[in-house]
Homo-oligomer: A and B are copies of this chain.
Amino acid sequence: MKHLCTVSPLCDYLRAARQAGKRIGFVPTMGAIHEGHRSLIRAARANCDEVVVSIFVNPTQFAPGEDYEAYPRPLEADLAACQAEGVDVVFCPGTDEMYPPGSATSVSVTGLTEALCGAHRSGHFVGVTTVVAKLFNIVQPDVAYFGQKDAQQAIVIQRMTRDLRWPIEIVVCPTVREADGLALSSRNRYLTAQQRKQATCLSTTLNWAKDQIEAGQHDTAALLAEMQRKIEVAGPCTIDYIEIVDAANLAPQPSAEGPCLIALAVRIGKSRLIDNLLVDATPTNR
């Protein structure tokens, strides 16, 4: 496995791979690699000749006051995980490599980025789309892998890729969960034992809402009120949002109809946790 920290040797290596007709799969990460990332890497490994993983804690996607400094950076363990999954190249650029002095260019997606996390994390999605644009141009993959856990990010990246015409297939892989339902996240490690137990309320509440919608309940306001109650009784927390939106364009759904995304963001202790479920609210006997 190659471990590269600068763009130039990575581009040389990938140019040769491309000229040899190899299919390049790319998994961009911020490190702190867990089973969620590993499921993306396995999907790439199963479908591509060359698997490239990037590890870069991207400063521009953290809003002021967020956990950029505290974000975990367990590089040795990350490299071991990549090695174990059969990754070909790990790219770990420094901040100056991705944002050299004088950097002035950004990529933004309007509309989709204003809902959900975009409304609570100022500048977050411009940071994400800008760094992914750079990584796409550096790696030039045939296919790139993102997790459904970050549902809004996946939709934004898909739109950006289509709009700016990158010839890259975007694959979105299912959320990986702990046995008790908690979605894997690098931020779970900030939780105390008690907060960790409390945090299961996110997935249980999402599953409750999904069951309700599938049973014919389409009144979003009633669903959201009960979801809020369930999360608040589970323990001390701050709810950033709980929403039921159109799964394609993230527009609010006053009455849940067709493919919907049930999504939430809740702060428990030092962690801001997000989770979501897709549900088809189309009545089955219509």
List chain B residues, Cβ under 8 A from A21.
Answer: 19
Q: Mark A9-40, 1 if CB is under 8 A from B, else 0.
A: 00100000001010000000000000000000
Question: For chain A residues 97-118, which have a beta carbon within 8 Å of chain B?
Answer: 100, 102-112
Tell whether, in the assembled complex, residue B134 and residue A164 are in contact, meaning their CB atoms are under 8 Å apart. yes
Tell whether, in the assembled complex, residue B112 and residue A160 are in contact, meaning their CB atoms are under 8 Å apart. no
Q: How far is the CA of A164 from the CA of B106 in the complex (A)?
A: 8
Tell whether, in the assembled complex, residue B164 and residue A105 are in contact, meaning their CB atoms are under 8 Å apart. yes
Q: How far is the CA of A186 from the CA of B122 in the complex (A)?
A: 42
- The answer to the question of A163 belonging to the interface, with a C-beta cut-off of 8 Å to chain B, is yes
Interface residues, chain A, with chain B CB atoms under 8 Å away: 7, 11, 19, 21, 100, 102-112, 129-130, 133-134, 137-138, 140, 159-160, 162-167
Q: What are 13 A-B contacts with C-beta separation under 8 Å?
A: A11-B167, A104-B110, A104-B163, A105-B159, A106-B107, A107-B133, A108-B108, A130-B164, A133-B164, A134-B163, A137-B164, A137-B166, A137-B167
